């Protein structure tokens, strides 16, 4: 038997049970070992119903005396009630949502049940004490006995000890899961290899793997239940550390590989930059200067830069990118900037072009649906080196695009390109054969306006260098954010009217209908027609959405920028990067459907000029608790990092930036919010390991090398 042996081969499991475990994400022995209980119940103390205190969470055991469904007056409500008696008293146990058939089968009169939950008091009820939706377990016959006093439980009984509660699924009750887990683990734990080098275990005061697994799955009666429940027990610490160590080790390897690639060293005493700065109507902020000098330091070295530039919306990343590109051009290389949408690529192109023309530099725009002749011409310009700066969409990294001598690639709004893996592909795809046929990699600058909390950026981008633009250009006024409900629509229209009469311009973003671009489109088109004909017939409205071809989109955006359009109805295509400094109002329809990061991005489309700007969140009740919280955060904060932290807290790390989606191994035990401090330690340990033994060839590292390969292998699939 091996850690990767399927559990169906464990005695007493078999294919049917294995399928049920499969639903829970457990197919191998190793996965069973890392199937961490959701929580623990201290059942070492069973309390009598008489002594159970209201407001306390208790475990009681008693016999089912009565089972019934109560019909309530409110909206045909039904309550499933079970009355339990342990000879010291009665308690009424109620479920407001339940599967009738299942519950009826489970709670039969006369069976003995263990119940774990909060004891409540209901003055109208016959017995006073009640429990709602408790955890429960029907006890076997062998646990006969009239009271809990002096009852001696069997070793494998679910009572009388600290009991792990696993994630369960329908048709696979807790008691069965726990019993089968016991069978698997009794054979599984002893064969799990302890791969963490001894020096690391010592240095960080970690217990052995076997001991950790034992304590996680079979806690002693004397175990610290609070620590177990908060995931901070020594056993958790050990498993979390190992998982994070492996993750960081993988990132350290990536970084090592990156540092062994050939890049191009550039000189950075650039005249082009000086001339550009003279043309700018503003001075760079301190923060922009700082990140620019960090970038230049990288460019001077003959190792390819791989830097992530983070800066809140409107912090001025584009100009930093442009200056960096000029450095490459001045050194005789080409530079490229890639944007996630055509609208954004076009915007970059039209804002960069005037500067480049004055500097006598050639630039062109490469996007998906160019006419064949235009495209062929563009590709030949790129391949011959006739063009210095190329702006484009992901068409830039498609087949047939060959740069003569690409020196720097900038990826704008890189989080939009999605899967982290693709970043590596981009990196590989841009590899260039240099003059003497030597292969080198261009420098890479990724830019993102989605601020990532530190704990997350370490996990997901731990192999990149990081720069942050930490301040906005001076003179920005905070955006006034207001929340309205659908019944206030008239007020909102009135306000829009006022703003536009005063010379402002507005965005009206139309709702995000999940997974349905079509519906989103319909809503926007219908709304545009309604507004133009019925509400604002005297104003000039425009419509832009993802299904328009790029010429149409282009035309609308240009008109909006030139103020020929006063109100732009749009789908979320305008979410990222759009820069129209004269726009002062952003109305977000169905704001409750947007994620926090998106709300923040959308709001960032206004407030770019010196005028006071507004963001109106239009919500349509009923709102979920989460939606209310999101809107509340958006109302009260405009700091991208604070918003990102809140987003992370609300959504949880998994959804925020699934590591798996990011091309990283899945985290099974660790929670990067809870375990942030361990992450830092694991990271340090991992980077030390790679520094000491870059190829992991030392005997003490062989085991982790294998584990690492396996782990990152599955992540890449
Ligand atoms: P983002 O970081 O969101 O990409 P942009 O690069 O689009 O931000 O810049 C937002 C706006 O701020 C642009 O209109 C840009 O010209 C302007 N801007 C950039 N840097 C400065 C600065 N140092 N002072 C004043 N305005 C600036
Ligand atoms: Mg931008």
**Is residue 146 very low, low, confident or very high in pLDDT (cuts 50, 70, 90)?**
very low
**Packing angle of the helix pair 286-299, 317-330 (nearest 10 deg):** 30
- 451 Cβ inside 6 Å of ligand 1: no
- 28 Cβ inside 6 Å of ligand 1: no
What are 648-668's pLDDT values in tens digits? Answer: 777 765 554 445 455 667 788
Q: Is 100 helix (H, G, I), strand (E, B) or coil?
A: helix
Nearest residue (by CA) to ligand 1, atom 17, is 316
CATH class of segment(s) 480-637: alpha beta
Per cent of the chain over pLDDT 70 is: 89
**Is residue 326 very low, low, confident or very high in pLDDT (cuts 50, 70, 90)?**
very high
What confidence score (pLDDT) does residue 147 get?
37
- 287 Cβ inside 6 Å of ligand 1: no
Rounded Cα distance between 307 and 296, Å, is 11
326 strand-pairing partners: none
- Residue ranges of the domains in the chain? 45-160, 197-204+220-260+675-717, 271-469, 480-637
What are 391-406's pLDDT values in tens digits? Answer: 998 888 877 888 888 9
pLDDT higher at 716 or 280: 280
Evaluate if residue 602 carries a pLDDT over 80: yes
Rounded Cα distance between 472 and 341, Å, is 24
What's the 3-state SS for 645-707? HHHHHHHHHHHHCCCCCCCCCCCCCCCCCCCHHHHHHHHHHHHHHHHHCCCCCCHHHHHHHHH
At a CB cut-off of 8 Å and minimum separation 6, what does 547 contact? 517, 521
**Is residue 257 very low, low, confident or very high in pLDDT (cuts 50, 70, 90)?**
confident
Rounded Cα distance between 248 and 688, Å, is 11
Task: State which ligand 1 atom lies nearest to the alpha carbon of 579.
Answer: 7
Instruction: Give CA separation, 420 vs 75, 661, 662, 664, in Å.
Output: 49, 7, 4, 8
Cα-flanking dihedrals φ and ψ of residue 480, to 5°? Answer: -75, 115
Give the mean model confidence (pLDDT) for residues 419-423.
49
Rounded Cα distance between 332 and 200, Å, is 48
Contact 264, 403 (CB under 8 A): no
Rounded Cα distance between 2 and 445, Å, is 44
Report how far Cα 276 is from the mean position of its chain's Cα atoms. Answer: 38
What confidence score (pLDDT) does residue 121 get?
92
**Is residue 431 very low, low, confident or very high in pLDDT (cuts 50, 70, 90)?**
low
Beta carbons within 10 angstroms of residue 155's beta carbon:
8
Q: Tokens 């007056």 correspond to what residue?
A: 73
Contact 169, 20 (CB under 8 A): yes
Q: Is 35 helix (H, G, I), strand (E, B) or coil?
A: coil
Evaluate if residue 577 carries a pLDDT over 70: no
Rounded Cα distance between 444 and 602, Å, is 27
Cα-flanking dihedrals φ and ψ of residue 131, to 5°? Answer: -130, 140
- 316 Cβ inside 6 Å of ligand 1: yes
Burial (CB < 10 A; 0-12, 13-18, 19+), residue 226, is exposed
Rounded Cα distance between 248 and 252, Å, is 6
Give the mean model confidence (pLDDT) for residues 221-238.
91
Rounded Cα distance between 514 and 18, Å, is 34
Rounded Cα distance between 312 and 600, Å, is 9
Q: Are strands 439-440 and 432-433 parallel, antiparallel or unpaired?
A: antiparallel
* Range among 385-394, 594-603, 651-660 rated most confident: 385-394
Nearest residue (by CA) to ligand 1, atom 23, is 284
What confidence score (pLDDT) does residue 394 get?
82
What are 681-697's pLDDT values in tens digits? Answer: 999 999 999 999 999 99
Evaluate if residue 426 carries a pLDDT over 50: yes
What confidence score (pLDDT) does residue 151 get?
40
What confidence score (pLDDT) does residue 86 get?
92
Distance 351 CA to ligand 2 centre (A): 12
Rounded Cα distance between 101 and 93, Å, is 17
Q: Is the peptide bond before 622 cis (omega within 30 degrees of 0)?
A: yes
- 455 Cβ inside 6 Å of ligand 1: no
At a CB cut-off of 8 Å and minimum separation 6, what does 401 contact? 366, 379, 382, 395
Cα-flanking dihedrals φ and ψ of residue 646, to 5°? Answer: -65, -40
Rounded Cα distance between 83 and 371, Å, is 76
Rounded Cα distance between 615 and 623, Å, is 19
Q: What share of the chain is helix, strand, coil (3-state, %, to 5)?
A: 45, 20, 40
Evaluate if residue 154 carries a pLDDT over 50: no
Which ligand neighbours the alpha carbon of 355 most closely?
A: 1
At a CB cut-off of 8 Å and minimum separation 6, what does 584 contact? 499, 504, 505, 506, 606, 607, 609, 611, 612, 613, 614
* Range among 114-118, 142-146, 533-537, 636-640 rated most confident: 533-537
Report how far Cα 157 is from the mean position of its chain's Cα atoms. Answer: 40
Q: Is 568 helix (H, G, I), strand (E, B) or coil?
A: strand
> What six digits make up the tokens of 408?
């720097």
Distance 517 CA to ligand 2 centre (A): 24
Q: Are strands 406-411 and 78-85 parallel, antiparallel or unpaired?
A: unpaired
Q: In the CATH scheme, what is the homologous superfamily, with its name and number, of domain 45-160?
A: Nucleic acid-binding proteins (2.40.50.140)
Which ligand neighbours the alpha carbon of 339 most closely?
A: 2
Residue closest to 608 by CA, chosen among 457, 478, 460: 478
Beta carbons within 10 angstroms of residue 493's beta carbon:
14
| 40-49, 239-248, 676-685: segment of lowest average pLDDT | 40-49
Instruction: Give CA separation, 534 vs 501, 530, 531, in Å.
Output: 18, 5, 5
What confidence score (pLDDT) does residue 475 get?
81
Nearest residue (by CA) to ligand 1, atom 20, is 316
Residue closest to 262 by CA, chosen among 387, 437, 467: 437
Rounded Cα distance between 163 and 459, Å, is 32
| 144-158, 170-184, 545-559: segment of lowest average pLDDT | 144-158
Instruction: Give CA separation, 30 vs 189, 209, 341, 660, in Å.
Output: 8, 12, 43, 19
Beta carbons within 10 angstroms of residue 413's beta carbon:
21
Question: Is the domain 271-469 a CATH 3.30.200.20 member?
Answer: no
Residue closest to 17 by CA, chosen among 151, 205, 163, 173: 173
What confidence score (pLDDT) does residue 485 get?
93
**CA dihedral defined by 353, 356, 357, 359, rounded to 10 degrees?**
170
**Is residue 314 very low, low, confident or very high in pLDDT (cuts 50, 70, 90)?**
confident
**Is residue 616 very low, low, confident or very high in pLDDT (cuts 50, 70, 90)?**
very high
What confidence score (pLDDT) does residue 714 get?
63
> What six digits make up the tokens of 646?
């809140």
- 469 Cβ inside 6 Å of ligand 1: no
What's the DSSP call for residue 532?
Answer: I
- 311 Cβ inside 6 Å of ligand 1: yes
- 607 Cβ inside 6 Å of ligand 1: no
Alpha-carbon Rg for the chain, nearest whole angstrom, is 31
Contact 90, 156 (CB under 8 A): no
State the sign of the Cα–Cα–Cα–Cα dihedral 262, 267, 273, 275: negative
**Is residue 625 very low, low, confident or very high in pLDDT (cuts 50, 70, 90)?**
confident
Evaluate if residue 586 carries a pLDDT over 70: yes
Contact 96, 132 (CB under 8 A): yes
What confidence score (pLDDT) does residue 357 get?
96
List of long-range contacts for 255-260, beta carbons under 8 Å, 24+ apart: 255/462, 255/463, 255/464, 255/690, 256/690, 256/694, 258/303, 258/304, 258/306, 258/463, 259/303
**Is residue 208 very low, low, confident or very high in pLDDT (cuts 50, 70, 90)?**
very high
State the first-to-last Cα distance of the chain, in angstroms, to the nearest integer.
25
Burial (CB < 10 A; 0-12, 13-18, 19+), residue 344, is buried
Give the mean model confidence (pLDDT) for residues 127-155.
63
What confidence score (pLDDT) does residue 214 get?
96
Q: How many residues does the chain have?
A: 717
Please give the helix or strand (H or E) that residue 485 lies within, else none.
strand 480-485
What confidence score (pLDDT) does residue 423 get?
56
Nearest residue (by CA) to ligand 1, atom 5, is 316
Evaluate if residue 144 carries a pLDDT over 50: no
Evaluate if residue 108 carries a pLDDT over 50: yes
Contact 40, 225 (CB under 8 A): yes
Distance 586 CA to ligand 2 centre (A): 17
Give the mean model confidence (pLDDT) for residues 537-562.
86
Which ligand neighbours the alpha carbon of 414 most closely?
A: 2
> 45-160 and 480-637: same fold?
no
């Amino acid at each position: 038997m091996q850690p990767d042996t399927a559990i169906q081969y464990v005695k007493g499991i078999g294919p049917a049970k294995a399928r049920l475990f499969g639903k829970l994400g457990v197919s191998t022995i190793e996965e069973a070992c890392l199937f961490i209980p959701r929580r623990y119940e201290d059942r070492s103390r069973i309390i009598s119903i008489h002594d159970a205190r209201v407001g306390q969470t208790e475990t009681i055991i008693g016999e089912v005396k009565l089972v019934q469904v109560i019909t309530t007056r409110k909206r045909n409500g039904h309550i499933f009630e079970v009355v339990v008696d342990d000879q010291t008293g009665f308690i009424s146990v109620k479920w407001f949502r339940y599967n009738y058939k299942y519950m009826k089968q489970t709670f039969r009169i006369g069976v003995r049940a263990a119940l774990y939950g909060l004891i409540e008091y209901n003055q109208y009820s016959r017995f006073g004490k009640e429990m709602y939706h408790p955890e429960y377990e029907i006890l076997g016959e062998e646990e006969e006995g009239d009271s809990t006093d002096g009852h001696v439980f069997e070793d494998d009984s679910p009572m009388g000890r600290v009991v792990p509660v696993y994630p369960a699924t329908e048709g696979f009750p807790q008691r069965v899961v726990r019993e089968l887990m016991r069978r698997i683990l009794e054979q599984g734990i002893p064969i799990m290899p302890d791969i963490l080098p001894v020096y690391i275990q010592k240095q960080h005061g970690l217990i052995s793997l076997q001991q950790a697994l034992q304590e996680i799955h079979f806690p002693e009666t004397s175990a610290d239940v609070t620590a177990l429940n908060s995931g901070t027990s020594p056993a958790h610490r050990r498993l979390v550390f190992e998982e994070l160590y492996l993750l960081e080790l993988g990132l350290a390897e990536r970084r090592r590989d990156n540092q062994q690639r050939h890049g191009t060293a550039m000189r950075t005493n650039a005249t082009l930059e000086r001339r550009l700065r003279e043309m700018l109507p503003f001075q760079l902020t301190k923060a922009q200067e700082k990140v620019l000098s960090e970038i230049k330091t990288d460019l001077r070295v003959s190792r390819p830069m791989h830097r992530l530039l983070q800066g809140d919306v409107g912090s001025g990343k584009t100009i930093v990118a442009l200056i960096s590109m000029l450095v490459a051009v001045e050194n005789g290389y080409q530079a490229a900037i890639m944007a996630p949408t055509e609208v954004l690529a076009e915007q970059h192109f039209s804002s960069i072009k005037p500067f480049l023309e004055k500097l006598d530099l050639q630039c062109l725009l490469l996007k998906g649906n160019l006419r064949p002749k235009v495209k062929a011409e563009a590709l030949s310009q790129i391949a011959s080196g006739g063009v210095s700066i190329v702006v484009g969409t992901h068409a830039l990294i498609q087949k047939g695009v060959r740069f003569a001598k690409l020196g720097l690639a900038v990826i704008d709004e890189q989080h939009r390109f999605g899967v982290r893996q693709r970043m590596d592909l981009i990196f590989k795809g841009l590899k260039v054969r240099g003059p003497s046929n030597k292969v080198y990699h261009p420098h890479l600058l990724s830019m993102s306006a989605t601020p990532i909390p530190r704990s997350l950026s370490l996990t997901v981008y731990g192999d990149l260098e990081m720069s942050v633009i930490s301040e906005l250009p001076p003179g920005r006024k905070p955006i006034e954010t207001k929340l309205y409900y659908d019944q206030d629509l008239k007020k909102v229209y009135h306000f829009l009217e006022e703003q536009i009469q005063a010379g402002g311009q507005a965005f009206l973003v139309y709702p995000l209908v999940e997974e349905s671009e079509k519906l989103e489109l319909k809503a926007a088109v219908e709304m545009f027609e309604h507004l133009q004909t019925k509400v604002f017939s005297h104003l000039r409205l425009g419509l832009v959405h993802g299904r328009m071809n790029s010429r149409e989109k282009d035309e609308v955006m240009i008109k909006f920028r030139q103020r020929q359009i006063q109100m732009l109805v749009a789908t979320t295509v305008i979410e990222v990067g759009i820069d129209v400094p004269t726009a002062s109002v952003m109305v977000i329809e169905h704001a409750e459907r947007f994620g926090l990061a998106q709300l923040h991005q959308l709001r960032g489309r206004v407030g770019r000029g010196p005028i006071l700007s507004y963001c109106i969140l239009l919500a349509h009740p009923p709102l979920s608790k989460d939606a209310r919280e999101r809107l509340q955060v958006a109302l009260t904060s405009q700091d991208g990092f604070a918003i990102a932290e809140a987003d992370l807290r609300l959504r949880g790390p998994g959804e925020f930036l699934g590591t798996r989606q990011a091309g990283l191994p899945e985290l099974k035990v660790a929670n990067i919010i809870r375990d942030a401090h361990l992450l830092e330690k694991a990271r340090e340990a991992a980077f030390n390991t790679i520094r000491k033994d870059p190829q992991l060839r030392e005997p003490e590292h062989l085991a982790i090398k294998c584990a690492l390969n396996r782990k990152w292998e599955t992540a890449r699939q």
